[in-house]
């Protein structure tokens, strides 16, 4: 049953994350982001990481998505047609797709990561003190990268929502 529930959350998270990318309406995309974060929290619950699920819902789903919605509504964005891409954005898009495909192929070729021996792995999740120690020592770089990605996402929302002068004439 746990494997089935985990797979349901995986599919739900992937579908809602795809909804974030393909939605033209920024408010609907932000709502899909909220549902995607709820799906990731469900994955954490299925993996018995209740603290991470709670923190994800509290911080990201509660605060970050609310901030995105506030910015979107403050800038009064409309789902208008996007200008055609050429040059550098097309190359960047192609490079991003190539990197994702490379990651998928390498994961498929190498297979799953070897499972560590449970007897040799220390129980780090038992105490919040040990969890915090691991978070701010071993996993400090991924946490900072995630914060930087959230900053980029917020700036992306602002740039995409900004009304440019003279763009009304281009059709």
Please report the pLDDT score of residue 36 as a whole number.
94
Please report the pLDDT score of residue 126 as a whole number.
61
Report pTM.
0.55
Tell me which H or E stretch contains 8.
Answer: helix 2-22
- Burial-class residue 19 by CB neighbours within 10 Å (0-12, 13-18, 19+): middle
Q: Read off the pLDDT of residues 9-32 as tens digits, 9 standing for 90 and up.
A: 999 999 999 999 898 888 888 899
Using CA atoms, how far apart are residues 82 and 4, in angstroms rounded to an integer? 40
Does pLDDT of 169 surpass 80? Answer: no
| Phi/psi of residue 130, nearest 5 degrees | -70, -35
Q: Read off the pLDDT of residues 50-96 as tens digits, 9 standing for 90 and up.
A: 888 888 888 888 888 887 777 777 776 665 566 676 777 888 888 98
Does pLDDT of 166 surpass 80? Answer: no
Q: Is there a contact between 32 and 69 (Cβ–Cβ < 8 Å)?
A: no
DSSP string of 41-90, one letter each residue: HHHHHHTT-HHHHHHIIIIIIIIIHHHHHHHHHHHT---PPPPPP-SHHH
Please count the other Cβ atoms lying within 10 Å of the Cβ belonging to residue 130: 13
Residue 86 DSSP one-character state: -
Does pLDDT of 118 surpass 80? Answer: no
Mean pLDDT calculated for residue range 95-122: 79
Tell me which H or E stretch contains 33.
Answer: helix 26-46
Minimum mean pLDDT range among 12-16, 33-37, 144-148: 144-148
Q: What is the pLDDT of the chain when averaged over all its residues?
A: 80
Closest CA to 12 of 41, 50, 54: 41
């Amino acid at each position: 049953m746990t494997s089935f529930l985990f797979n349901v959350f995986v599919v739900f998270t992937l579908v809602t994350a795809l909804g974030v990318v393909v939605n033209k309406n920024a408010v609907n995309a932000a709502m899909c982001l909220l549902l995607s974060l709820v799906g990731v929290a469900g994955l954490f619950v299925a993996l018995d990481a209740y603290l991470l699920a709670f923190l994800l819902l509290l911080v990201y789903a509660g605060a970050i998505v609310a901030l995105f919605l506030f910015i979107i509504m403050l800038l009064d964005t409309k789902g208008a047609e996007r200008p055609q891409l050429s040059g550098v954005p097309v190359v960047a898009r192609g490079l991003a797709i190539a990197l994702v495909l490379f990651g998928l192929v390498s994961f498929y070729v190498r297979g799953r990561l070897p499972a560590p021996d449970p007897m040799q792995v220390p129980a780090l999740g038992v105490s919040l003190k040990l969890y915090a120690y691991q978070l701010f020592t071993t996993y400090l770089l991924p946490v900072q990268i995630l914060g930087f990605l959230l900053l980029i996402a917020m700036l992306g929302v602002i740039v995409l929502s900004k009304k440019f002068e003279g763009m009304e004439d281009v059709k």
